[in-house]
Amino acid sequence: MALAHSPDPVTDAAFTERQAAVLEVALNLLVEGGDKALTTAGLAKAANCSKESLYKWFGDREGILSAIVTYQASKVRGADERANPTTKEDFKQALSAFSEDLLAVLLSETSLALNRLSIGQVRGEAARGESAGLGAVLVDRGKRRIEARAIHLLTHGKRQRFITFDDAADAYTTLYGLIIGDLHIRALLGDHPDLDDSEHQARTRAAIDRFLTLFANALD
Amino acid sequence: MALAHSPDPVTDAAFTERQAAVLEVALNLLVEGGDKALTTAGLAKAANCSKESLYKWFGDREGILSAIVTYQASKVRGADERANPTTKEDFKQALSAFSEDLLAVLLSETSLALNRLSIGQVRGEAARGESAGLGAVLVDRGKRRIEARAIHLLTHGKRQRFITFDDAADAYTTLYGLIIGDLHIRALLGDHPDLDDSEHQARTRAAIDRFLTLFANALD
DNA sequence: TAGGTACTGTACGGTTCGGTACGGCGTTCA
DNA sequence: TGAACGCCGTACCGAACCGTACAGTACCTA
């Protein structure tokens, strides 16, 4: 997977520059007003475009929302896969970097808005024929990439015998849990926690220490 | 805080029996159709009551939603505070019980629906003057109680020297993270995971083992 | 200059839904 | 018996909003 294709991280996704600009405005509306603040008329006015253009470009309102998610997801940087630390200290450093990135992303206002949007679209049990709709896109293009990066790092760490584990996915989930805890769900619920940067670092330090304790290579 | 009041866990909260029945129906509608499936007309029809009654009882739609959350939250059992295990094995057992309860609750369809609802209500940044609205209620009456139960258990475990820690809240968050990982957010997004019961047990076992490893009393 | 393309701005139809008003029915109480 | 009360069912109103239609404008090309 992950062919060396990767055309253009910015102008990718078949979005005109104009369209991207409109989506950017839409995202802002979404961040500072939630789902129902994003009306077609409102977006048209805010973005200085006509409703007719919106419908020509995106089909319908659902299409606009979907486009926002897709567009934003296309901006997550590809994770420098070449980060293959050779010393245990570097490995720990790489884990810490991942942790802080994860915290920064998940608690960012735009990520929260997008997650709220996607979650709001989920209908109970029998979600249409299309499995999950928006949430699926968000998970696929957002979380999966982060997960891939982490698992790559973890597997590398295992090969280098910095850590040991049987199931990479399980190890990743544990790492995630140690880092995030219940911060994400509380942030989603509006329980605004710390935006403090040093807080993140402290949290990261504790999480990584614990993770390394759990998965330390017995040979050490 | 938390006076020994606690009138009646069931018929509490000043809800008539009739009203409770209506709220039950409303909850069902919510579970199997999400936020916008719960219209006042729809609820009136489904619950065999008149819209006029709905507005007399709950004020407006917001009041209905709020009542649903309050009502449901009033049903969380008070957590048997008397569970004070005396042996380390019993303590571990108590932790496991807590873990499975937590998983069962958080991944239940009703809990997910309520969380989705509350999250959907959150407006970006400047949420009205009323801080957080629904989400706050959910956090307060739902999560806080669970947290209280866990912290009680943990503190007890510390007193008994089964485990050791400095910050109880931090220990709890760690426990939570080890148990839940990213299951909750994925479930909220519609990424339907395992409803399997044995899965929960396995997950619980791993989480508790790890937790005890991290917080084991050094004297052991 | 003429025609085509892409877009803006606005106006309009149609629908959904929150909230209110009103008539009717059953029950309780004097 | 009759009056008051609570509630149901329904009809109704107004607002919001999605989606479409249409006229006007800027730009590009032959």
Q: What is the pLDDT of residue B102?
A: 95
Judged by a CB distance cut-off of 8 A, whether residue A152 touches chain B is no
User: What tens digit of pLDDT does each residue of B13-27 get?
Assistant: 579 999 999 999 999
Q: What is the pLDDT of residue A94?
A: 97
Q: What is the pLDDT of residue B194?
A: 67
User: What tens digit of pLDDT does each residue of B126-157 get?
Assistant: 554 455 577 777 777 778 888 999 999 999 99
Q: What is the pLDDT of residue A113?
A: 95
pLDDT-based confidence at residue B73 (cuts at 50, 70, 90): confident
Please determine, for residue B80, whether its predicted confidence score (pLDDT) is greater than 80.
no
B19 CB contacts (<8 Å, ≥6 apart)? B57, B67
Is the pLDDT higher at A131 or at B120?
A: B120
pLDDT-based confidence at residue B206 (cuts at 50, 70, 90): very high
Judged by a CB distance cut-off of 8 A, whether residue A123 touches chain B is yes
Q: What is the pLDDT of residue B196?
A: 83
Q: What is the pLDDT of residue B77?
A: 66
Averaged over B37-46, what is the pLDDT? 96
Task: Confirm whether any atom of chain C, the nucleic acid strand, is less than 7 Å from CB of B61.
Answer: yes
Q: Which candidate from A113, A120, A127 shows the least CB-CB separation from B124?
A: A113
Which nucleotide lies nearest residue B42, CA to C1'?
A: C17
What stretches in chain A show pLDDT beneath 50? 1-12, 128-129
Three-state secondary structure string covering A169-205 = HHHHHHHHHHHHCCHHHHHHCCCCCCCCHHHHHHHHH
Q: How near does any CA of chain B get to the CA of A82, in Å? A: 26
Number of CB pairs, chain A paired with chain B, less than 8 A apart: 142
CA torsion sign, B68 to B70 to B74 to B76?
A: positive
Phi and psi at residue A124, in whole multiples of 5°? Answer: -55, 150
Asked if B31 lies within 8 A of A125 by C-beta distance, the reply is: yes
Q: What is the pLDDT of residue A137?
A: 73
- The answer to whether the CB of A51 falls within 8 A of the CB of A41 is yes
User: Which residues in chain A have Cβ-Cβ distances shorter than 8 Å to B29?
Assistant: none
Please determine, for residue B9, whether its predicted confidence score (pLDDT) is greater than 70.
no
Separation CA A14–CA A10 (nearest Å): 10
Q: What is the pLDDT of residue A19?
A: 96
DSSP letter assigned to residue B131: T
Q: What is the pLDDT of residue B6?
A: 36
- The answer to whether the CB of B173 falls within 8 A of the CB of B183 is no
Closest among A6, A182, A218, A178 to A98, alpha carbons compared: A178
For chain B, list the domains and their CATH numbers.
17-73 (1.10.10.60), 88-215 (1.10.357.10)
- The answer to whether the CB of B20 falls within 8 A of the CB of B68 is no
